[in-house]
Amino acid sequence: MKANTNEPKNKEFMMNRKTIMSIGGALALTISAAPSFAADGAEVFNKCRVCHSVEEGKKKVGPSLYGVVGRTPGTLAGYKYSASMTDFGATGAVWDAATLNTYLTNPRGLVAKTKMIFPGLGDEAERTALIAYLDGLDG
Ligand code: HEC
C-alpha cells in the first residue's frame, strides 16, 4: 500500500507545522508588546537585573531601584553604599532623569569611586527608555 509508506512523513510534517505556528504566535505577542515605551525599558533593564531588583526594598548587590527617580543618591535605608555615593548625595544631587542619564552613560564619570561595576550604557535611546521604565515603577 503506497499510502502507508507516506504516512509517517506526513505526521512529521503536521508536527512541524504545529511547532511553526506556535512560534509564530509567540512572535506576534512579542511584536504587539514592543511599541510600548515601558516594554523597551523593561528589556533594557535586563542589563541591570543581575545586581538590581525593581521590587520595593529588595536589595541584591546593588540597592532596589523601585522609586529611584527622585531619590537622593545613596540614601535608601538598609543598603550599604560606597562613601563616594553618599558623598554625591550630600552635594544636593537628586536622581532625576538628567542625572540618571549622565550616571548611566558612564557611572564612574559622575561618581568616581562608586562600587557599581558597570561600564555604562552607550545607547541614548536605551537610556531614555530605561529611565522612563524606572520612573513608572512607583506609578
Ligand atoms: C555589577 C552590578 C551592577 C550592575 C550590572 C548595575 N548596577 Fe547599579 N549599582 C550597583 C551597586 C553595587 C550600587 C551601589 C553603588 C555605590 O554605593 O557606590 C549601584 C547603584 C546604582 C544607583 C544608585 C541608587 C541609589 O540608591 O542611590 C543607580 C541609579 C543604579 N545603580 C542604576 C543602575 C542601572 C539602571 C543599571 C543597568 C543599566 C545598573 N545600575 C547596573 C551595582 C550594579
pLDDT surpasses 60 at 9: no
State whether 46 and 112 are in the same domain: yes
CA of 16 relative to ligand 1 center, distance in Å: 44
C-alpha cell at 11: 505526521
CATH number for the domain including 58? 1.10.760.10
- pTM of the entire predicted model: 0.79
pLDDT surpasses 60 at 87: yes
Whether the CB of 68 sits within 6 Å of ligand 1: yes
CA of 7 relative to ligand 1 center, distance in Å: 58
Comparison of pLDDT for 46 and 138, the residue scoring more? 46
pLDDT score for 139: 79
State whether 127 and 98 are in the same domain: yes
pLDDT surpasses 90 at 88: yes
State whether 97 and 65 are in the same domain: yes
- Measured between alpha carbons, how far is residue 114 from residues 33, 37, 86, 98 in Å? 35, 29, 10, 18
pLDDT score for 24: 52
Q: Whole-number mean pLDDT of the chain?
A: 84
Provide the 10 A C-beta neighbour count for residue 113. Answer: 11
State whether 27 and 51 are in the same domain: no
State whether 43 and 66 are in the same domain: yes
State whether 22 and 87 are in the same domain: no
State whether 27 and 48 are in the same domain: no
Whether the CB of 117 sits within 6 Å of ligand 1: yes
Q: Which domain holds residue 14?
A: 1-33
Residues 6 or more apart whose Cβ sits within 8 Å of residue 56: 64, 66, 67, 138
Provide the 10 A C-beta neighbour count for residue 100. Answer: 22
**Which range has the worst mean pLDDT, 18-22, 48-52, 96-100, 105-109?**
18-22
pLDDT score for 42: 94
State whether 17 and 75 are in the same domain: no
Encode pLDDT of 27-78 as tens digits: 554 544 444 444 499 999 999 999 999 999 999 999 999 999 999 999 999 9
Domain count, the chain: 2
Name the burial class of residue 86, with classes exposed (0-12), middle (13-18) and buried (19+) by CB atoms within 10 angstroms of its CB.
middle
Encode pLDDT of 105-115 as tens digits: 999 999 999 99
